[in-house]
Structure 1
């Protein structure tokens, strides 16, 4: 099929997958950290006066 290049092709796909997965995980972790920081800055919520 691809002969001697199969190893290179599989390695390229594996590295590409690892990079994309790492970027997704990094973005998700940063989003969680920023959400926590924003909630800490908001402080306690007040009930509306009724």
Structure 2
């Protein structure tokens, strides 16, 4: 189908997919970490200027 460049094309798409999945995972983990930090700060009495709670989202 891709001719003599099939190995290069398939490996490029695979590498790109892996990088995108790793970035998505990293963002999800960081999001959870930041939410936990906000909950901890709010539990210690810190308030947000917007007046919204971190748990509201």
TM-score, scaled relative to structure 1: 0.81
Give the alignment's Cα RMSD to 1 decimal: 1.1
Instruction: Figure out how many residues of one structure are paired with residues of the other and give that number.
Output: 44
Larger radius of gyration: 1
Where relative contact order (Cα < 8 A, 6+ residues apart) is larger, the structure is 2
Following superposition, which runs of at least 4 residues in structure 1 exceed 6 angstroms of deviation?
Answer: none
TM-score when scaled to structure 2?
Answer: 0.72
**Structure 1 segments unaligned to the other structure (5+ residues):** 45-50
